[in-house]
C-alpha cells in the first residue's frame, strides 16, 4: 500500500448513492454475524479505499483539530467517503434494530436466528479458504492455532459479562477492530463477549422513553470504537501487508473454533431482572400499555403493576410500571432428537424449531456462496500482492 499522505479523498457527489449502498451491505454484514464488513468491503472493491480513509485520521489531522483548523482537518481526512459509507452502515443498523429486531428474535426464535448466524459463519469460513491461491503447512498450522484460540476464548469468556461503561468501551474497541478485518465480523465478537443483544437492544431504544439509558450504553461503545480504530487500524494494516494470507488463516481458524457458542441448538437459561417506576395513571406510557399491551417476549418489555394509591381520585392515581429484562446466564449446546423432535423439550418449539435451525443454516451458507459468486475472486486479488 502506498503512503496515505499521497492518497487524497477523490469521492465525487455522483458516487455517494453507490457508496451508501455499499455501506448498507457492510453494515448488514456487521450486524448479522457471518460475512464480515471487511470481507464485504473486499468483495465490493472498496477495502483498500476504506483502509486509506481510516488511516487518514492521523497525527496531522489531529493537530489541525486541536488548532480548530477545520479546513486543515477536512483537507487531511477522507471525510466525504467516510460520511457516505457511515450513512449506509447506520441505516443497516437501524433497519436490523427497528424494522427487523434481531435482538428480540434471538430470544423468541433462537434456533432460527442462531441457525442463520451459524450458516453464514460456516459459509464465510469456506468462502475465505477457497480464496487462498495455495495452501501449505504453515497456513494449516496457523489455521489450527486460530481454531484452538477461538475455542479457548468462547469457553473462557463467562456467559454473564459486565454491563459497566468500561467493559462496553472495551467491547466497542474490539468489535470495530474486527469489523475492518476481512474474515471476522464485529457482531461475531460481540456475540462471543455476550454483548450482541445488549448493544443492539440499546440501538432499538433510541427514540423511545429509554433514549437516555440507551445513550449511556452507546456513547461508551462509540468511544471504544473510535479508540479501537485509531489504535489498531495501523497494526492491522501492517499485519495484512506483512503476511496477508497468514493473518487470514488465523482469523479463519478463530471463526471456526468459535462456532461452539453459535450452534443453534443450545439449552439457554435466563435470569429475569425487574426495574420499577411509579408514574401517573394518566401518563402516555400507561395509556399505551393499556391500549396495546406488549407481549412478554424477552429480552426487554414493559408491564403494568399495581396502583399505588387506589383510594385517590383517578386523576391523581399512581401506578407501578415494571421494566422486565431477560439476561442469558448459561448456555450449553446439544444434538437434538432428530427422530422425534416434538418430544425434545430442549427445543423452543419442537419440530418447527428443529427444522428452522436446519433450514436457516443452509440458507446462511447459500447466501454466503452467492456473495462469493457475485464477488468473483476479488478477495484473492486484494491480497495477491502482499508479501509473505
- Residue 359 inside a domain? The answer is yes
Whether 213 and 240 share a structural domain: yes
148 and 296, same domain (yes or no): no
- Do 311 and 240 lie in one domain? The reply is no
- Same domain? 136 vs 88: yes
Give how far the C-alpha of residue 187 lies from the chain's centroid of Cα atoms, to the nearest Å: 2
- 138 and 218 in a single domain? The answer is yes
The pTM of the full predicted model, rounded to 2 decimals, is: 0.67
The number of CA neighbours under 13 Å toward the Cβ of 114 is 26
Q: Do 250 and 300 have their domain in common?
A: no
Residue 22 lies in a domain: yes
Structural domain includes residue 344: no
3-state secondary structure the chain: CCCHHHCCCCCCHHHHHHHHHHHHHHHHHHHCCCCCHHHHHHHCCCHHHHHHHHHCCCHHHHHHHHCCCHHHHHHHCCHHHHHHHHHHHHHHHHHHHHHCCHHHHHHHCHHHHHHHHHHHHHHHHHHHHHCCCCCCHHHHHHHHHHHHHHHHHHHHCCCCCCCCHHHHHHHHHHHHHHHCCCCCCHHHHHHHCCCHHHHHHHHHHCCCCCHHHHHHHHHHHHHHHHHHHHHHHHHHHHHHHHCHHHHHHHHHHHHHHHHHHCCCCEEEEEEEEEEEEEEECCCHHHHHHHHCCCCCCCCEEEEEEEECCCCCCHHHCEEEEEEEEEEEEEEEECCCCCCCHHHCCCCCCHHHHHHHHHHHHHHHHHHHHHHHHHHCCHHHHHHCCCCC
Are 218 and 292 part of one and the same domain?
Answer: no
Q: Tell me if 343 is assigned to some domain.
A: no
Are residues 253 and 282 part of one domain? no
Q: Which domain holds residue 182?
A: 4-265+353-383
Could you tell me if 250 and 317 lie in one domain? no
Query: Is 301 contained in some domain?
Result: yes
Identify whether residues 254 and 372 lie together within a single domain: yes
| Angle between helix 110-130 and 350-375 (nearest 10) | 30
Q: What's residue 322's pLDDT?
A: 87
In a domain, 328, yes or no: yes
Based on the fold, state whether residues 212 and 279 are members of the same structural domain: no
Write out the chain's pLDDT in tens, 388 residues. Answer: 444 344 666 778 888 888 888 888 788 777 766 556 776 776 676 777 787 787 777 667 667 777 777 776 667 777 788 889 889 988 988 888 778 777 678 788 889 888 988 888 888 788 878 778 777 888 889 989 988 887 876 676 556 678 888 999 999 888 887 766 665 667 778 877 878 878 887 887 787 777 888 899 999 998 998 888 777 767 766 776 788 788 788 878 887 887 887 889 988 877 777 888 888 888 888 888 887 766 556 677 888 888 888 888 888 889 998 888 777 767 788 999 888 988 888 898 889 999 999 999 999 888 878 766 765 544 444 444 444 5
Count structural domains, the chain.
Answer: 2
322 lies in the same domain as 244: no
Residue 347 domain flag: no
319 within some domain: yes
Amino acid at each position: 500500500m502506498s503512503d496515505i499522505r499521497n492518497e487524497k479523498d477523490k469521492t465525487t457527489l455522483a458516487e455517494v448513492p453507490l457508496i451508501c449502498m455499499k455501506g448498507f451491505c457492510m453494515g448488514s454484514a456487521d450486524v448479522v454475524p457471518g460475512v464480515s464488513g471487511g470481507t464485504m468491503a473486499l468483495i465490493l472493491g472498496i477495502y483498500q479505499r476504506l483502509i486509506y480513509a481510516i488511516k487518514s485520521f492521523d497525527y496531522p489531522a489531529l493537530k489541525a483539530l486541536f488548532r480548530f483548523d477545520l479546513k486543515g482537518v477536512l483537507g487531511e481526512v477522507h471525510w466525504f467517503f467516510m460520511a457516505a459509507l457511515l450513512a449506509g452502515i447506520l441505516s443497516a443498523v437501524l433497519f436490523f434494530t427497528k424494522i427487523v429486531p434481531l435482538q428480540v428474535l434471538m430470544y423468541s426464535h433462537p434456533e432460527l436466528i442462531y441457525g442463520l448466524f451459524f450458516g453464514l459463519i460456516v459459509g464465510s469460513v469456506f468462502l475465505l479458504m477457497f480464496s487462498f491461491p495455495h495452501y501449505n503447512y504453515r497456513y494449516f498450522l496457523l489455521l489450527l492455532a486460530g481454531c484452538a484460540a477461538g475455542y479457548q476464548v468462547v469457553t473462557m469468556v463467562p456467559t454473564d459479562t459486565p454491563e459497566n461503561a468500561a467493559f462496553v468501551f472495551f467491547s466497542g474497541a474490539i468489535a470495530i477492530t474486527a469489523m475492518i478485518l476481512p474474515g471476522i465480523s464485529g457482531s461475531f465478537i460481540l456475540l462471543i463477549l455476550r454483548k450482541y443483544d445488549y448493544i443492539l437492544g440499546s440501538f432499538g431504544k433510541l427514540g423511545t422513553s429509554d433514549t437516555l439509558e440507551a445513550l449511556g450504553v452507546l456513547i461508551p461503545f462509540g468511544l471504544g470504537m473510535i479508540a479501537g480504530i485509531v489504535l489498531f487500524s495501523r497494526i492491522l494494516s501492517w499485519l495484512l501487508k506483512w503476511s496477508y494470507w497468514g493473518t487470514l488463516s488465523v482469523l479463519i481458524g478463530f471463526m471456526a473454533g468459535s462456532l461452539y457458542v453459535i450452534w443453534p441448538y443450545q439449552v439457554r437459561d435466563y435470569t429475569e431482572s425487574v426495574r420499577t417506576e411509579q408514574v401517573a395513571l394518566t401518563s402516555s406510557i400507561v395509556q399505551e400499555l393499556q391500549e396495546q399491551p406488549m407481549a412478554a417476549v424477552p429480552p426487554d418489555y414493559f408491564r403494568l403493576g399495581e396502583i399505588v394509591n387506589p383510594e385517590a381520585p383517578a386523576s391523581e392515581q399512581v401506578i407501578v410500571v415494571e421494566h422486565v429484562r431477560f439476561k442469558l446466564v448459561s448456555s450449553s449446546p446439544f444434538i437434538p432428537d432428530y427422530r422425534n423432535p416434538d418430544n425434545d423439550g430442549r427445543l423452543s418449539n419442537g419440530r418447527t424449531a428443529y427444522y428452522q435451525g436446519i433450514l436457516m443454516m443452509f440458507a446462511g451458507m447459500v447466501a454466503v456462496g452467492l456473495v462469493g459468486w457475485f464477488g468473483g475472486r476479488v478477495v484473492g486479488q486484494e491480497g495477491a500482492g502482499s508479501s509473505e
